[in-house]
Chain A
Amino acid sequence: MGIVTPGFTGRRRDEAPDLPPGQYLTHDFPVLSAGPTPGVDRDRWSLEVVTETGDRSQWSWPELMALPRETVTVDLHCVTRWSKLGTSWTGVSLDTLLADVETTADYALVHSYGGYTTNLPLADLLDGQAWVAFEYEHDELDPEHGGPARLLVPHLYLWKSAKWVRGITLTVDDEPGFWESVGYHNYGDPWREQRYWDE
């Protein structure tokens, strides 16, 4: 516990749900992006998975739409301390996308339109933990929130859920992504409050 700040009481605790440490509840959907929102045309959109041996799998937008989709309700935790609970997303599970991809890689580097990258262990993309999502609350995903499609990995801080996803490179060695290179934690588990490098 920190030093007490005289006069500070904070919000009523009985309104506070069970959140990861250091998070507060918001009902908005804040936007955090490091640069301009890229305009991504569905006609030219593609998603590519490249393995450690250079094997490529690619999906066009119609091909993605033809895959089995799931609608999930998940909680979002942003490293800037807001959490948003019970959000509904529709997308294709990474288990589906990676089902026929042969790999012994342990890591994934996710690439976005606009140049953003983020890294995570491949295991965190599997077993019903991650989706390429294209609907939010049953509507087309807004570009500011990553449309036409973003990665959704809700058990990690939201910067891992790369907006405007266009590719995933599977690698033997872990390579830090964009925020991971400038001070943010390599893994980013909100329940262990892994915000920055030294945590």
Chain B
Amino acid sequence: MPWRVGTVRAVHDETPTARTLVLEVPDWSGHVAGQHVDIRLTAPDGYSATRSYSVASAAGPSATVEVTVDRVPDGEVSPFLTEVLPVGGAVELRGPLGGWFVWRPDGAAVVQLVGGGSGVVPLMSMLRTHAAASAETPMRLLLSVRDPAALFYADELAALTREGGHRGLTVVWTREAPAGADRPPGRVDAALLAAATIPAADRPTCFVCGPNGFVEAAAAMLVAAGHAAARIRTERFGPTGGSRR
């Protein structure tokens, strides 16, 4: 699989620590929602560092690919991508990669998305793909976020999940909720999961992405709520216990 050059055509700051890069990639073949790309940086002495980032943009043919990068404290690559790399700058990129944590709009399956923090990125690609395809199978997102300042894609998420449509959204604030929130800050628990997700009886395919501790807890709750383990796909980052490193 060749390395290609991706040129930054635009950046959008999603939060104080997260930035979306819109990369123009010649001959980009498009991706499937949920896939990731490898991005490689090379120093003048030849030293290089590569990391994987989920694609945020909708699937399908496109001249650009968007990734949202959350800055990892003491990270080697993410501080460069979020703070240094300018519009017009270039990185090397290859992909798309990954054939498991993916969703295609051709299926009939009902879809439940569960995200924690920056784990929303591949799920956003699924929502955008669902909207672009005018899919009518239900797709719901349960998203756990620390506080309003940490929410990626706030306006677009709201627009994509307007009431009465085929897509739904519940945001759970873990530390600080905005004024007028339905419930006080707290973690996702079994009661909330039951109220805010598609019931197991509807046999949704579940995509769960986030810090490991979050994914571990959410996947276990889905199993306890009757969802078959075989219909729960997970993507995790970070060490045991879930602190983002």
Listed in ascending order, the chain A residues whose CB lies under 8 Å from chain B are 1-11, 13, 22, 24, 26, 28-38, 80-81, 114-115, 142, 144-145, 178-179, 181-183, 196, 198-199
- Most chain A CB within 10 A, of B3, B44, B51, B91, is at B44
Listed in ascending order, the chain B residues whose CB lies under 8 Å from chain A are 1, 3, 5, 40-52, 76, 80, 84-85, 89-92, 97-101, 212, 216, 219-220, 222-223, 229-230, 232-234, 236-240, 245
Complex: A19 Cα to B98 Cα, angstroms: 24
The DSSP consensus for interface residues of chain A is loop
Contacting pair B80 A8 (CB below 8 A): yes
Which residues on the B side are within 8 Å of A183 (C-beta)?
Answer: 97-99
Complex: A175 Cα to B239 Cα, angstroms: 31
Which residues on the B side are within 8 Å of A38 (C-beta)?
Answer: 229
Contacting pair B240 A5 (CB below 8 A): no
Given contacts A114-B229, A144-B212, contact A5 B99 (CB under 8 A): no
Complex: A7 Cα to B83 Cα, angstroms: 11
Contacting pair B76 A37 (CB below 8 A): no
Given contacts A3-B5, A8-B84, A10-B47, contact A36 B229 (CB under 8 A): yes
Contacting pair B84 A7 (CB below 8 A): yes
Contacting pair A35 B230 (CB below 8 A): yes
User: What's the least CB distance linking A151 to chain B, in Å?
Assistant: 19
Residue of B nearest to A30 (CB): B239
Contacting pair B46 A1 (CB below 8 A): yes
Which residues on the B side are within 8 Å of A80 (C-beta)?
Answer: 52
Among the listed A6, A31, A115, which residue makes an inter-chain contact with B212, where contact means beta carbons less than 8 Å apart? A31
Contacting pair B239 A32 (CB below 8 A): no
A–B Cβ pairs within 8 angstroms, 24 of them? A2-B92, A4-B43, A5-B90, A6-B89, A7-B84, A7-B89, A9-B43, A10-B43, A10-B49, A10-B76, A22-B50, A24-B49, A24-B76, A28-B240, A28-B245, A34-B101, A34-B233, A35-B230, A35-B233, A36-B229, A38-B229, A181-B99, A182-B99, A196-B1
User: What's the least CB distance linking A31 to chain B, in Å?
Assistant: 4
Complex: A4 Cα to B49 Cα, angstroms: 11
Which residues on the A side are within 8 Å of B45 (C-beta)?
Answer: 13
7 pairs of A and B residues whose beta carbons are closest in the complex: A182-B99, A28-B239, A36-B219, A2-B42, A8-B41, A31-B212, A183-B99
Contacting pair B52 A81 (CB below 8 A): yes
Complex: A181 Cα to B89 Cα, angstroms: 36
Which residues on the B side are within 8 Å of A2 (C-beta)?
Answer: 3, 40, 42, 48, 92
Which residues on the A side are within 8 Å of B98 (C-beta)?
Answer: 182-183
Complex: A144 Cα to B90 Cα, angstroms: 38
- Most chain B CB within 10 A, of A36, A38, A80, is at A36
User: What's the least CB distance linking A153 to chain B, in Å?
Assistant: 21
User: What's the least CB distance linking B221 to chain A, in Å?
Assistant: 10
Residue of B nearest to A22 (CB): B50
Among the listed A13, A31, A198, which residue makes an inter-chain contact with B236, where contact means beta carbons less than 8 Å apart? A31
Contacting pair B100 A4 (CB below 8 A): no
User: What's the least CB distance linking B113 to chain A, in Å?
Assistant: 15
Complex: A145 Cα to B240 Cα, angstroms: 8
Given contacts A9-B43, A37-B219, contact A29 B48 (CB under 8 A): no
Residue of A nearest to B86 (CB): A7
Which residues on the B side are within 8 Å of A22 (C-beta)?
Answer: 50
Given contacts A3-B92, A5-B90, A10-B49, contact A30 B99 (CB under 8 A): no
Complex: A168 Cα to B91 Cα, angstroms: 43
Which residues on the B side are within 8 Å of A35 (C-beta)?
Answer: 219, 229-230, 232-234
Contacting pair A29 B46 (CB below 8 A): no
Complex: A178 Cα to B100 Cα, angstroms: 9
Complex: A36 Cα to B219 Cα, angstroms: 5
Residue of B nearest to A179 (CB): B100
User: What's the least CB distance linking B205 to chain A, in Å?
Assistant: 12
